[in-house]
Chains A and B, each alone.
Chain A
Amino acid sequence: MAKRSVWSDNRFWQRSAAWITGFASVLLIWLTFDTMAQITIGTDADIKNGVTKRVPAPTVINYKITYEMSTKRGHEVPIIGGNDGQGMSLFQEKELFFGRDDWSEEEAAELLHLGKLGSQVKNCMNCHTLLGNGAYYAPDLTKAWLDPQWGPDGSMQAMTGKNTKEEAMAEFLQNPSKYPTHARQMPNLGITAEEAKGLVAFLKHMSSIDTNGFPRNFGKIEGAVHGK
């Protein structure tokens, strides 16, 4: 019989398991506190004061959003209300959203709430990806708001007979199978006009979230944000 060694001692490994699991958990919880602080949704005051948040306030729907290269960070970042030239948002340039650019904090939050609820209830995630997570049967929606397809040069505004991006999107969401773009179509999910408005607000808000440069080179092709 060999001599007892610590490496073959059950209790040693039991304690190691407990300590390492405990340590990893504590580290994860600590990092969670830090991350929570960083991804908490911003306030309208933040936007007004020019404070960049990873997840901006719902009132971001009042502003023009673009996705531009930040040389400092080495990837694209959402730019809200104009670029200061250094890859930071100016929070100046507004953009009409369903005819208004003065959605109050409450109104915008209400729209976003409706949109987020809609995104879950209508099961978006089981065809599309949101922030890259979900199913792969339909395009990623992370930056869908910025997709050239819906812009003035894209085909969707003409197809739906609307003059703005948000109206085209809302019209499509209400009658998706009326505007088929491919053999694979979006089904009719009974989305009402109000819900569609909320969903578009949700999409616009999602495009303003700082996703560390995902998706890469979004809209690199013709007519895109960074057209080449």
Chain B
Amino acid sequence: MIDPSVVRPEIALDDFLPIFVSSALVLVFGGFYVGIYTAVKVNILKKWTMPFAYLFWMLTAYCLYTMGSLMHVGDFTAKALVIAAIGLLLLPHAVYYMQDRVHKENEH
């Protein structure tokens, strides 16, 4: 289970900035994705903005990929990152579905 690639190869000096920027952007874009998705669903935003939500998810996934490759993550961490990305994709759908379900069941 030990993954020596955690510390080898070393991160190149010039890679630190892109790593920090891309990992911050992961959640910035992720936030836009879930934000737009939910806002459209509850009619705060117009329907046509929905594709932008998915566009932001794609940017999130791209940033995760960039971050992971610059950090030289091993197989295990790479899998964890993929799970996180898919989790983020599904999350607002699941949340909305469940919320709406309960809402409908409780409206009289």
A and B touch in the complex (CB under 8 A): yes
Query: How many residues of B are counted as interface, with CB atoms below 8 angstroms from the partner's CB atoms?
Result: 14
Chain B contacts for A2, CB-based, 8 A: 101, 104-105
Measured CB to CB, the closest approach of chain A to B108, in angstroms, equals 8
Chain B contacts for A212, CB-based, 8 A: 7
By secondary structure, the B interface counts as helix
Interface string of A123-140 (1 = CB under 8 A from B): 000000000000000000
Q: B105 touching A4 by the CB < 8 A rule?
A: yes
> In the docked arrangement, what's the CA distance between A2 and B97, Å?
12
Q: A74 touching B101 by the CB < 8 A rule?
A: no
Chain B contacts for A7, CB-based, 8 A: 97-98, 101
> In the docked arrangement, what's the CA distance between A146 and B67, Å?
33
Asked if A1 lies at the interface with its beta carbon under 8 angstroms from chain B, I say yes
Chain A contacts for B107, CB-based, 8 A: 1
Interface string of A55-78 (1 = CB under 8 A from B): 000000000000000000111000
Measured CB to CB, the closest approach of chain B to A114, in angstroms, equals 34
Most chain-A Cβ atoms within 10 A of its Cβ — which of B6, B10, B97, B102? B102
> In the docked arrangement, what's the CA distance between A1 and B100, Å?
11
Q: B101 touching A8 by the CB < 8 A rule?
A: yes
Measured CB to CB, the closest approach of chain B to A102, in angstroms, equals 37
Measured CB to CB, the closest approach of chain A to B14, in angstroms, equals 17
> In the docked arrangement, what's the CA distance between A2 and B98, Å?
12
Chain A contacts for B5, CB-based, 8 A: 74
What residues make up the interface of B, taking CB atoms closer than 8 Å to A?
Answer: 4-8, 10, 97-98, 101-102, 104-105, 107-108
Known: A7-B98, A75-B7; 5 extra A-B contacts, CB below 8 A, are A1-B105, A1-B107, A4-B105, A8-B102, A212-B7
What are 28 A-B pairs at a CB distance below 8 A?
A: A1-B104, A1-B107, A1-B108, A2-B101, A2-B104, A2-B105, A4-B105, A5-B101, A7-B97, A7-B98, A7-B101, A8-B98, A8-B101, A8-B102, A8-B105, A73-B4, A74-B4, A74-B5, A74-B6, A74-B7, A74-B8, A75-B7, A75-B8, A212-B7, A213-B7, A216-B7, A216-B10, A217-B10
6 closest A-B pairs by CB: A8-B101, A74-B8, A74-B4, A2-B104, A8-B102, A75-B7
